[in-house]
Amino acid sequence: MRVISGSAKGRPLKAVPGMGTRPTTDKVKEALFSMIGPYFDGGAALDLFAGTGGLGIEALSRGMERAVFVDSDARSVDVVRRNLEATRLAERAEVYRNDAFRALKALAKRNAAFELVFLDPPYRLKIIADLLTELQTLQLLKPEATVVVEHDAGDVHDLPVGRLVPRKRADYGETSITLFHYEYEREPLPSSGAEDKERGHESV
């Protein structure tokens, strides 16, 4: 794995030991950023279920001003920090060990809001709709924000969730990516009342 483009282009990224993470391949990452960028003029990104941090790091390398990385696994958090140091992007990043729903609530208390969000939860959890709802309920999205959802190719996410409207889907073998656009003037759907799915470890 490596940074594909931008200020940290070509720098290698460490993988998380073991089989608990599913890093986005360079091929998929390159195609993804061609769809959503490929470069940015500032803004804030959130890399939830960060794993190696590859997506958030790529966003920083391509011009995002700040990024928040969250993962519940201590090994992932350590690898994200190492990768940020290796790419010289650590000063523009925050890294936290927490589960997704608790992290979103903590970020909302800080009045955080993001132009770009990466969601790549373990496929077995089936919590993407809940996460999309929570992002809106907690007002964590800037107008016209993009939410990138990486999911099992067998799952279909072709309906709006509140003000988040699916705009594009791309398939790469067993992995698919669906891009949601935050249409903040759209009449929202009621909140699903997403509940915490895991127990947190550290506050954001």
Could you tell me whether strands 44-48 and 114-119 are parallel, antiparallel, or unpaired per DSSP bridges?
A: parallel
Cβ neighbours, 10 Å, residue 173: 9
Domains, the chain, in order of start with CATH, read 1-15+23-113 (3.40.50.150)
pLDDT at 17: 86
Side by side, the strands of the sheet bearing 114-119 are: 93-97, 66-71, 44-48, 114-119, 141-152, 175-182, 164-172
pLDDT, one tens digit per residue, over 158-175 is: 999 999 999 999 999 889
- pLDDT averaged over the chain? 90
- Count CB atoms within 10 A of the CB of residue 159: 10
Q: What pLDDT was estimated at residue 112? A: 97
pLDDT value at residue 190: 52
Query: According to the model, what pLDDT value does residue 201 have?
Result: 42
Per-residue pLDDT, 198: 40
pTM over 0.75: yes
Question: Which residues of the chain, if any, have pLDDT below 50?
Answer: 191-202
- Separation of alpha carbons 60 and 175, rounded Å: 23
